[in-house]
Structure 1
Amino acid sequence: MPCSTGRPSRSGPSPTSAGSAEVSVAVTPDGYADAVRGDRFVMPAERRLPLSCVLDVLEGRAQHPGVLYVQKQCSNLLTELPQLLPDLEPHVPWASEALGKMPDAVNFWLGEAAAVTSLHKDHYENLYCVVSGEKHFLLHPPSDRPFIPYELYTPATYQLTKEGSFKMVDEEAMEKVPWIPLDPLAPDLAQYPSYSQAQALHCTVQTGEMLYLPALWFHHVQQSHGCMAVNFWYDMEYDLKYSYFQLLDSLTKASGLN
């Protein structure tokens, strides 16, 4: 049965609950959104689907082309799923006190096991909470920057055709995007030999657990099928920590290690 828009799951939430809420869904042919594919930095196709439709696909009651991942990082929990807010804390009290601010964004994540987040870093202090399932993080501290390659790529976006196939369309109005081409799970050390000097950390966050992921830490993320998570993004302070990373980044580029 194909997944349609506007139909609540028969066995899931009712139309008056979160199941009928439309959410932004990243759709890719292989589960990699915002990742290097060949000589392009490719962003996912985006569709608006009822949350119940996504759940139907995850639970095998419906079908949809490609791999689905609810991963819109624009405080989508607040803007798209306000029905869930009574069940969640609006922030992480100890983090808000320690950082002296409230979160800039609260994001909701739900997807298939094939959905993978490529290696990257963020300018946010990240409190990542797993509600159901498991998240598998591969981490590098900012000090590993000299061993992590960056290259410039022409940006492109997947488009989902009516037939259910994908095509890649260049974003000609956008500037080239610096991104990490390396897959840390199967690194090409012949092409990127410096990565052998990096020391990856591995961490599994299980149901009911929270990971504090500091700003500027590199991370690659996998998950169990149907994993549900919420994360709180606090804007980082552009202080000595940021200046140190910028210096390290500049020295890496100047030395030709990049």
Structure 2
Amino acid sequence: MMIQSGIPVVIEGALEDSPSREWTLDSLEERVGGNEVHVRANTNCEDYRLGRKYNIRQTTFRDYITDIRKNNKRAKSSYLAVQNIKKAFPQIAADFTVPEYVGKVHGGPYLWIARQGHYEYCHFDADDGLLIMLQGTKNVRLFGCDVPSMYPNAKGTKGRTVQSQVNCDEPDLKMHPLFEGTKCYHCTLKPGEMLYIPAFWWHQVTSVEIAISINIFWGNAGSNDFLTKCMKPPIWPAFHHWILNIVEQNQDCPSFRRTLARLPEALYNFLKNQWHEEALPGQVEILVEAVKEYLGLEELPKDQSSGKHPPPFQIRGLLWRS
């Protein structure tokens, strides 16, 4: 199947029998209008377009949809993103079934509803993804998993994704000259279509019109297949960058030295939690050496703790996923 090739692919007609294909703003408002949601705010500013900063506000699904219909000032700076359907909208969870070819779910399914013209910052996710269009259309750009040509924000940027400094609508090639030679894959995703986004591929999504979509973060079946894939070319440099970004997120934490002292165990637990993967000793050793090299350490600190588990190596600053 093409989805195993590591190349983006659009899957047509995959939701013909799914009740979720009938979701509209009206039907969703009727069924889940009173549910609380967490909406991204300030999404029309430059810091958001470059993936640097956004805030979260709490509202009801009905109020968010009302703003979207009116296309008012608040709508133009808001985005209902990454809302866990099973938790935030249990009334409609049974309408969508994860496709059978998804190996192992890492997160989701999540609901996204965007206003017309919403620009989602260019970034990569540390998972394979399926973007599933229910209503409306989205333009998607994909750029592979090369890191230098996409000019990621400085290491330590908060959250689970790594964001690009490039404005894909108006790239500044004097500031980002390597971007000029980057190969771009492009598609317009229509209702009933699904886009496979390979893990660690940079992508930027713009809503052509009001859009309702679902996404799933996932990986290969098996206990080690996904991690093995990520530790080989062409993914390894982006995975390496992602791990070091999380190292930088944790550096100022009071417990970080104790985490370093038990880094092999902490990394094993981290990968188990994020991907449900069983890292092999040799894989953990490679990651430990990468962290030591980044921090300029010849050896890890001595373990002075008596706790059963090490302080967690964890993603910091992840803004609301319900």
Q: Give the structure-2-normalised TM-score.
A: 0.57
For 2:41 and 2:61, the matched residues in 1 are separated by 14
Contact 1:33 1:117 in 2 (8 A): no
For 1:138 and 1:122, the matched residues in 2 are separated by 14
For 2:89 and 2:239, the matched residues in 1 are separated by 38
Does 1 or 2 have the higher relative contact order (CA < 8 Å, sep 6+)?
1
Contact 1:152 1:179 in 2 (8 A): no
Which runs of structure 2 are paired with 1:236-255 in the superposition (5 Å)? 237-244=226-233, 245-247=235-237
Relative distance call for 1:15 and 1:223 in structure 2 (3 A) is closer
Residue in 1 that maps onto 2:89: 81
Contact 1:13 1:19 in 2 (8 A): no
Is 2:125 the partner of 1:122?
yes
Is 2:214 the partner of 1:230?
yes
Relative distance call for 1:34 and 1:243 in structure 2 (3 A) is farther
Relative distance call for 1:135 and 1:219 in structure 2 (3 A) is same
Residue in 2 that maps onto 1:148: 150
Instruction: Report the more deviating stretch, 47-56 or 237-246.
Output: 237-246
For 1:124 and 1:248, the matched residues in 2 are separated by 12
SS at match of 1:183: coil
Q: CA RMSD in A?
A: 3.2
For 2:237 and 2:156, the matched residues in 1 are separated by 26
Contact 2:138 2:206 in 1 (8 A): yes
Residue in 2 that maps onto 1:163: none
Which runs of structure 2 are paired with 1:90-101 in the superposition (5 Å)? 91-95=98-102, 99=103, 101=104
For 1:123 and 1:148, the matched residues in 2 are separated by 16
For 2:74 and 2:127, the matched residues in 1 are separated by 33
For 1:249 and 1:84, the matched residues in 2 are separated by 35
Relative distance call for 1:216 and 1:153 in structure 2 (3 A) is closer
For 1:151 and 1:48, the matched residues in 2 are separated by 27
Q: 2:44 aligns with which of 14, 23, 30?
A: 30
Q: Unaligned regions of 5+ residues in structure 1, if any?
A: 1-10, 156-173, 252-258
Q: Deviations over 1:198-232 (max 9, x none)?
A: 11111111011101111111101101332000011
For 2:92 and 2:118, the matched residues in 1 are separated by 23
Which runs of structure 2 are paired with 1:1-12 in the superposition (5 Å)? 12=26
Relative distance call for 1:199 and 1:61 in structure 2 (3 A) is closer
1:153, CA displacement in angstroms?
7.4
For 2:85 and 2:36, the matched residues in 1 are separated by 11
Q: 1:108 aligns with which of 102, 106, 111?
A: 111
1:15, CA displacement in angstroms?
8.5
Q: Deviations over 1:39-68 (max 9, x none)?
A: xx21x2211211111111111187636522
Q: Between the two proteins, what is the percent identity of the paired residues?
A: 18
1:129, CA displacement in angstroms?
0.5
State the structure with more CA Rg.
Answer: 2
For 1:211 and 1:15, the matched residues in 2 are separated by 26
Q: Give the structure-1-normalised TM-score.
A: 0.70
Q: Deviations over 1:132-160 (max 9, x none)?
A: 00111110112x334221242786xxxxx
Equivalent pairs counted in the alignment come to 210
Partner amino acid, structure 2, of 1:28? N
Relative distance call for 1:33 and 1:115 in structure 2 (3 A) is farther
Contact 2:43 2:49 in 1 (8 A): no
Partner amino acid, structure 2, of 1:56? T
Which runs of structure 2 are paired with 1:194-209 in the superposition (5 Å)? 194-209=178-193
1:16, CA displacement in angstroms?
7.5
For 1:248 and 1:76, the matched residues in 2 are separated by 26
Which structure shows the higher strand fraction? 1
Which runs of structure 2 are paired with 1:208-227 in the superposition (5 Å)? 208-227=192-211
For 1:192 and 1:32, the matched residues in 2 are separated by 17
For 2:138 and 2:120, the matched residues in 1 are separated by 11
Partner amino acid, structure 2, of 1:59? R
Relative distance call for 1:50 and 1:238 in structure 2 (3 A) is same
